[in-house]
A = this chain, B = another copy of it.
Amino acid sequence: MKFGKIIGRVVSTQKVKSFEGLKLILVQPLNEKLNPAGDALVAVDTLQSDIGQIVYFETSKEAGRVIEKEMNPCDAAVMGIVDDINITESK
């Protein structure tokens, strides 16, 4: 999983059935120093995270399982909100 910051929302009326009712957010990937790393992605958020919050998210098949419908197609989802990052070893 990667760190990310919630930077916006995506509005979409016409979408695949399994996405109805889901919140789509725009997440900016961050490295472990919380600097931007790559382009922003569209992700599903089931945690009611707020704009500006630091989260960790997935970008693989497993992301779909956050949503409580087993066959839901989804490749990016917020997994948790970061309280603290303790880096105690140098690279």
Contact = CB atoms under 8 A, between A and B. Distances in A.
B8 A51 contact: no
Interface string A6-47: 111111111110110000101010011000110111110011
Nearest to A37: B39
Given A8-B87, A8-B89, A37-B39, 18 more contacts: A2-B42, A3-B42, A5-B89, A7-B91, A8-B32, A9-B85, A9-B88, A16-B79, A40-B91, A42-B56, A58-B74, A59-B60, A59-B75, A60-B75, A62-B63, A62-B64, A62-B74, A63-B75
A22 B39 CA distance: 29
A82 B16 contact: no
A43 B70 CA distance: 23
Contacts of A72: 62, 65
